[in-house]
Structure 1
């Protein structure tokens, strides 16, 4: 293992195998970790498979908008000079980079799973999942301009989510091999891993042997064995199909009780159905299963809030915010919990922190205005607070991958 390029923003880490005729160049997904004292995306998997890899690691979730990326990609090309196959590979934010840097890396294959075209609000006003980051990042036209790729990228995505809109923009710039998998959610990497198709996809794309239509059919057929797919179908049901949604959600948990994603979906649907005790019990099971992972604690708090138990939710909400103090929407979410618990001044202070962290978001000043107005009137409108809590408390991993 050696670092071929190193700056404050980006590292290119080389982990060659015995076969250096094939290289995979990976890019981080959102939330993989800050700094460089960590593994690169797919590092263990590629090493175990005996595939030489270059891991391009960003210091933060900046969608690789670093001025030194040209130099980093020069190091990639030098390291892979003479190789028969070079593939860029990433998921979500990493999928964005796999597409954007494929030419600069000298790639003749690209695998992008659930990528974005961009998250620049001027280009994709529909994209709200990483809105605080998108407004913070300085978008570089030499990286985030019109997309080009000499290779024909393989792009896997769920067309029923925002990802479908990104792929339409990608296809307006370049030709791709599109693998469309409805209701597998974001990122599709999770589904592919569950049904055992991620490894074949990587290997076949790298070798150039992938038959896109055939793989697409195989991946769609595999949905019948997927707990995640059933769980996503449950979430997609309209309100008047509540019983079907509950039935599907319970089935998904029966199939994979150890999958916290499907347990969380069941809890959310139970809360909507007014089955609060069962929803809370399910989230307690999920939080134990995940050793208190803050991503799932968000939903535990939301289940308690839906059950009108804000005082119990408050300690856990503060734990979540302490984990990610830089995320404005979590401070606003905490404010709703504080307000529900009767801590009105603390709720106003938490909203002010959200505004400081993300001053461009217009909903936070509106929330602060409402709090101050209700405080002056001596009101504590519970339904209004619960609505804000549910809308502001997002599942970080699901949107940050």
Structure 2
């Protein structure tokens, strides 16, 4: 018996399974794989069955080519793994059976289509799906280490969760039409393509220097849409010539592709470095946001040729955080440790987005003897790699080499509490606490260390601690010795704009941030009703939870899925009410003056429980409800005059009493583009009483601007990361002054 459900075509369809956003009609929902059907207005006689590849460095998977196929009016079924399992799960047979029965009852023919891991799935399950055609881009022949040996070591970490390789690619020559597109200069992809062609009848379409991401290359040569549409939908006899047309056309168009030149440089760097350099220069001339091949080249030469790597990084048209980490690494490899550390410490967002990569640079800085900078870097890393013992070992080593102060002792205690059975940590923690003259506590930890690993130097430390106890000159140990008073317990309500700067304060000695993990809220009326619910003065019908809450979160405030589970909702309610009751103060972000009212209950303006709709599609009027759920009768409500909006905020503040309240507006730069936010800003900066403080983020916007995304576009909804760091400091200083 498998943990799965097969649903009727006309059944109400949830938009999320296992926390994954899944558009379309759900055909099968298993523990390891999901299948959805995506109909179009004029479906035709053929359906395309897609298999998803690995997304977001092992992150959430989603339907492959869903937008492309829908835009081209091609009916399709998406098969999506819930994790990086390479379709090696026991529920695949049930899923394939359900998909096969479904398409055969509605269409004449089927094709399978996938890329990379998805290409493996498209070929492996073609026969069992009874599909007549396969299109696979850079597919794998196998993910089994006993088959791969040293031929392909990519994705070892992602594949490590696969216990049994149940679905090998079958052999046979029964393919009427199949095409495998790959880069013959990509050694791993070439090996896979050749192994597949040995065991199956398949047309190999080599595209030199296309790279692993063949689809991106064909987009750049303007061939992908036309080729895929024709190959997957034309009659069998016409598919072969279409493949030949692709090769001929690509020869004419390859020079307009940035990835062609970048992959040429990457593949030739060992044999023909001068030619590789020229090819990479051409790739850079395209001035596009994506330069993964150039960064791959940088990483190849980072250790042996750091100066050249640094030169290439400086040529990239768009600096992103990954490039910054590479730059810091190159500088460290060149011996410029102070400059490397300064780059990392000036970019707080690096620690959140690339903690593992940053830790590799930190080790070099530590071993250089730059202990102070290393300690500062590891202090930040200890927030994001909190469960990694090696981070704490290096952090304590750094601290042990500089002046022992309260920070050192605090870190030692935290590391000891996190890893009470790690002898390396116990020895370092005991030594630091010993040097701070907390002899009783040091002796306690060192005794545990000796029990785990009896070594001479730890015994010597214990003797020193025992001698200190006898002398009577040691300090008295208190658990809260670092603080003048207990830390302020702060309860945040808002969006990622608020949670990002608060995430920077997780290690604050004066703050204990009680992240509620219940998504984002925007208007005063919406937040006021939430506060009433937290206070227990109103209740919420569990059936409305999907409209009152929205699945959103950040690294420090992940969404609690119990909210949408009727059996667990009240456990969530009791948990979050306890947090609210225990808090000293709340910080509220007011980012909208519009409330979406279901009678008098303010709901989310764009809920994503049933479907995940981009805000750009529903920002006008009661857009989401007008378009998708008009029968509910939700209406937008906006204060008609400014004073009414101020009154809404005052009513919210009153509901929070007796807690201290900090108000933060949406970010405004004072221009027409953010004119509506300026109204919110002015309202928030009013005087709402002695227990209310406001933070004006406009000066921060003026100093640092809005965020530049990886593709070079401007995100006017979020501060630049430098601005996030400054806002974090402003919040911390304000709470410190309040000392609630």
CA distance in 2, matches of 1:86, 1:102: 9
CA shift, 1:86, in A, is 0.8
Match runs of 1:1-400 below 5 Å:
1-20=24-43, 21-31=45-55, 34=59, 39-81=62-104, 82-125=106-149, 126-141=151-166, 143-148=167-172, 150-151=174-175, 152-161=177-186, 162-206=188-232, 207=234, 208=236, 209-210=238-239, 211=241, 212-238=243-269, 241-261=272-292, 264=295, 272=305, 274-275=307-308, 278-283=311-316, 285-288=317-320, 292=321, 299-308=326-335, 309=337, 310-312=340-342, 314=344, 322-323=352-353, 330=356, 333-342=357-366, 349-350=390-391
Aligned to 1:361: none
Measured in 2, the distance between the counterparts of 1:110 and 1:259 equals 29
Residue 189 of structure 1 contacts residue 198 of structure 1 at CA under 8 Å; is this kept in 2?
yes
2: CA distance between counterparts of 1:317 and 1:108?
A: 52
Q: Per-residue deviation at 1:219?
A: 2.4
Q: Deviations over 1:61-119 (max 9, x none)?
A: 11011111111111211221152331111110110111111112221111100000012
Q: Distance in 2 between matches of 1:86 and 1:281?
A: 48
The equivalent residue for 2:727 is none
Q: How far apart are residue 155 of structure 1 and its match?
A: 0.4
Q: Distance in 1 between matches of 2:392 and 2:152?
A: 23
The 1:281/1:35 distance shift into structure 2, 3 A limit, reads: closer
Residues 352 and 229 (structure 1), Cα distance of their counterparts in 2 relative to 1, 3 Å cut: farther
Q: Deviations over 1:104-162 (max 9, x none)?
A: 22211111000000121100111111112334312333x11534574332100012221
Q: How far 1:45 moved relative to its partner? A: 0.7
**Structure 1 stretch displaced more, 259-268 or 124-133:** 259-268
SS at match of 1:219: helix
Q: Is the 8 Å Cα contact of residues 242 and 273 (structure 1) preserved in structure 2?
A: no
CA RMSD of aligned residues (A): 3.3
TM score, norm. by length of structure 2 = 0.42
Q: Which moved more, 1:145-154 or 1:63-72?
A: 145-154
TM-score by length of 1: 0.74
Q: Are residues 181 and 6 of structure 1, via their aligned partners in 2, closer, same or farther at CA, if it must alter by over 3 Å?
A: same
Tell me the alpha carbon deviations over residues 258-306 of structure 1, each in whole angstroms, 9 at most, x when there is no partner: 43336536756896472465334335x4334xxx5x5x56645544444
Q: Would the alpha carbon gap of residues 6 and 265 (structure 1) be closer, same or farther in structure 2, given more than 3 Å must change?
A: closer
Question: Equivalents in 2 of 1:318, 1:103: separation in Å?
Answer: 51
The structure with higher relative contact order (CA 8 Å, sep 6+) is 1
Indicate the larger mover: 78-87 or 165-174: 78-87
Q: Which moved more, 1:335-344 or 1:94-103?
A: 335-344
Cα pair 1:270 1:278 within 8 Å, conserved: no
Structure with larger Rg: 2
Q: Is the 8 A contact 1:335 1:351 kept in 2?
A: no
Q: Structure 1 residues 183-192 or 219-228, which shifts more? A: 219-228
**Structure 2: gaps spanning 5 or more residues:** 1-23, 379-387, 395-456, 458-740
Distance, in Å, in 1 between the alignment partners of 2:271 and 2:172 is 45
Q: Distance in 1 between matches of 2:392 and 2:192?
A: 32
Residue-pair matches, total: 339
